[in-house]
Chain A
Amino acid sequence: MIRSVERSASAGVDAARAAATILDLGFTDLVSIPDGESRYLHRALLEAPGIDVYQPTREGEGIALAAGLWVGGRKPIVVLQNTGLMEAGDAVRGCGLGPHIPLFLLIGWRGYPGAMEGSLPIDSAYPYTEPILDAWGIPHRLLMTDDDLGVIGEMAAKAEQTSLPAAVLYGYGFRP
């Protein structure tokens, strides 16, 4: 079931507020493959004290890097696009679901705005995103406006409580 959020002036999330939320939750490391929608969040965290930022070359690599950080005692957050999630499937399975490593994933939902607007052709990355997360049993919530920022803490807590990956999907990106 796709939960639609109509695009409006409030669509998207303030990058500074999202960064502050992430820092308040005690994340120590950002592992991020840049995409267009997350660039302002990436920049805000790059400039923030108290969090180390790593930019691997592909998402599977980033998932394994984050798993190593967590096993070593850190609290990483992984920011990636849904296309990268698909690339990283084996790493998500092997470094998250299998060994019960509580990876917290902030996933850009490429194709979501177009799908909501009825634009054609629909980006092929769009329809597979939630079914893949559901198939893996990765719980996820939607982050579409500033009013949704609480889902970051909610799903981060879910990952810690279950010692399994949990995710937040953002559909409209982060505003400067």
Chain B
Amino acid sequence: MSIERLDLFRVLSARRTDEIVVTTMTATLQWPLVSSHPLDFDFLAFGMGHAADFGLGLALARPERRVIVLKGDGGLLMSLGSLVTIARYGPHNLLVLLMENRSYEMTGGQELAPGVDFALLARGAGVEQVERIEDLARFEAALPRLLTEPGPHFIVLPVTNSEPLPPVAHTDHTQRVVRLRQALGLA
């Protein structure tokens, strides 16, 4: 089973209130179709594979606010050690939603190494709140809990995408940072 990614984003956007949402790779293309929020942060081109590391830093800095990271399985493979760091410092307010599509979608759909169990990797790294959610209804039902109960949560979501992808938005990187800090009352 799998979830249509844009449907997943619509469900998340409908439930989201004041959480910071960090997106990377194809999530940066589709999340803006369902959300335009001052606490949205486009991490594209900030460092390959490091969206969750950046989100971890945000979560540690802002313990009063939940941080949601939307990243892919290919990106996770580029920084697997981050699972260990997330487990070690365990910020209660971090929610990582791993879009599992088994490919490097952004670069042409090259397949990942088969057979990788991302939930098992996260558990093996020491992350305690790990789930695999394979259908939209279950994801929708789990969201109130994931957005309120202490984490860190690491959720593996097998996704497909049948929608055309919008072009990359080449927005100014400095302004992305400035806008988020303004939204956090820091600038």
Interface residues in chain A, defined as those with a beta carbon under 8 Å from any beta carbon in chain B = 29, 52, 54-58, 60-74, 76, 90-91, 93-95, 98-101
Q: Are A91 and B81 in contact (CB under 8 A)?
A: no
Interface residues in chain B, defined as those with a beta carbon under 8 Å from any beta carbon in chain A = 45-51, 53-62, 79, 81-82, 84-85, 88-89, 173-174, 176-177, 180-181, 184, 186
Q: Give bound CA distance, A29 to B81, whole Å.
A: 20
Q: Are A100 and B177 in contact (CB under 8 A)?
A: yes
Q: Are A71 and B85 in contact (CB under 8 A)?
A: no
- Write the chain A residue with the least CB distance to B81: A57
Q: Are B56 and A95 in contact (CB under 8 A)?
A: no
Residue among A56, A58, A71 with the most chain B CB within 10 A? Answer: A71
Instruction: Determine the chain B residues whose CB is within 8 A of the CB of A54 once the complex forms.
Output: 60, 85, 89
Q: Give bound CA distance, A55 to B58, whole Å.
A: 16
Q: Give bound CA distance, A101 to B176, whole Å.
A: 11
- Contact for A71 among B45, B81, B180, CB less than 8 A: B180
Q: Give bound CA distance, A71 to B79, whole Å.
A: 20
- Contact for B50 among A64, A70, A99, A100, CB less than 8 A: A64
Q: Give bound CA distance, A105 to B176, whole Å.
A: 23
Q: Are A71 and B46 in contact (CB under 8 A)?
A: no
Q: Are A65 and B53 in contact (CB under 8 A)?
A: yes
Q: Are A90 and B47 in contact (CB under 8 A)?
A: yes
Q: Give bound CA distance, A45 to B36, whole Å.
A: 41
Q: Are B54 and A67 in contact (CB under 8 A)?
A: yes
Q: Are A72 and B50 in contact (CB under 8 A)?
A: no
Smallest beta-carbon distance B165→chain A, Å: 21
Given contacts A61-B50, A94-B46, A100-B174, contact A72 B85 (CB under 8 A): no
